[in-house]
Every structure is written in C-alpha cells, then in structure tokens.
C-alpha cells in the first residue's frame, strides 16, 4: 500500500523545479502524492521527474506534523503547517532491478521502503 500523503506544491518550489526542469508541466506539478509505500519515517517524497541522463531525479520532500504540533496548531487556531518547509531535493535513483529485470526501482537511493518494482511483481 502506498503512502496517502499529499502536498500542494508551494509556488516558490514550483519556480525552483522549473529551474531544474524547464520542460516540466507546471500544472501537473501543482499537486503531488508521496511515492513511497507506507513508511515509518516522517519524510514524504513526491516524484517530479528524472534529470536528464544523470541517474538522478528531482523530488519534493515534505514532513508530517507531529501530534504535538497538531495540538499546538489547534490551540492557536492556526492552519496546518509542516514542521519543516517542503523542499526540492535531487536524489540518486535506486539501482535495484526486479528479478525479471523488466522493472526497476525509481525511488531515491536510500528509500527505506520496499522497492517500487515490488508493486508490479
């Protein structure tokens, strides 16, 4: 099962993405979901695109609020805010190939969750 976390990409990050990937479809990028399987750590990764032939890809990384932060927000009546601001991250792509070699993992190198090809094989 994949992680259900979603993010509306903040405008400044969108601009940063377009600096790396001028051909990216900005409308498509306005909204991302986490591409990991359910994970114990708090960092969510939303895949943006590969960067040319560099074996690297661009990701948006964002963090869940803690329960404590939730309560603090409610007490102050403020809107949900991530505990650390979302950021653009360039990550090496995981080199893992599936047993049949027909699928490859496209998650960041140290993703700490099952390889993405396990969803298909």
- Positions touching Zn ion (CB under 5 A) are 3, 5, 34, 36, 44, 94, 96, 105, 107, 115
CB of 76 to Zn ion, least distance (A): 26
Q: Which is nearer to Zn ion, 4 or 52 (CB)?
A: 4
Cα separation, 13 vs 19, whole angstroms:
10
Q: Which is nearer to Zn ion, 7 or 21 (CB)?
A: 7
Q: Which is nearer to Zn ion, 34 or 88 (CB)?
A: 34
Compute the Cα dihedral for 54, 112, 82, 6 and give only its sign: positive
CB of 100 to Zn ion, least distance (A): 15
Cα separation, 14 vs 2, whole angstroms:
24
Q: Which is nearer to Zn ion, 58 or 105 (CB)?
A: 105
CB of 43 to Zn ion, least distance (A): 8
CB of 114 to Zn ion, least distance (A): 8
**E-assigned strands of the chain?**
6-8, 31-33, 43-50, 56-63, 87-92
Q: How many CA atoms lie within 13 A of 19 on its CB side?
A: 9
């Amino acid at each position: 099962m994949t992680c259900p976390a979603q993010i509306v990409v903040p405008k400044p990050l969108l601009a940063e993405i377009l600096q790396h990937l001028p051909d990216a479809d900005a409308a498509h990028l306005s909204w991302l979901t986490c591409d990991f399987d359910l994970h114990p750590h708090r960092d969510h990764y939303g895949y943006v695109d590969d960067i040319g032939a560099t074996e690297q890809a661009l990701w948006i990384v964002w963090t869940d609020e803690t329960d404590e932060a939730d309560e603090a927000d409610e007490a102050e009546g403020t809107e949900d805010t991530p505990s650390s601001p979302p950021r653009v991250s360039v990550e090496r792509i995981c080199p893992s190939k599936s047993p049949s070699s027909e699928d490859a993992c496209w998650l960041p190198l140290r993703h700490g969750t099952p390889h993405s090809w396990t969803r298909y094989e």
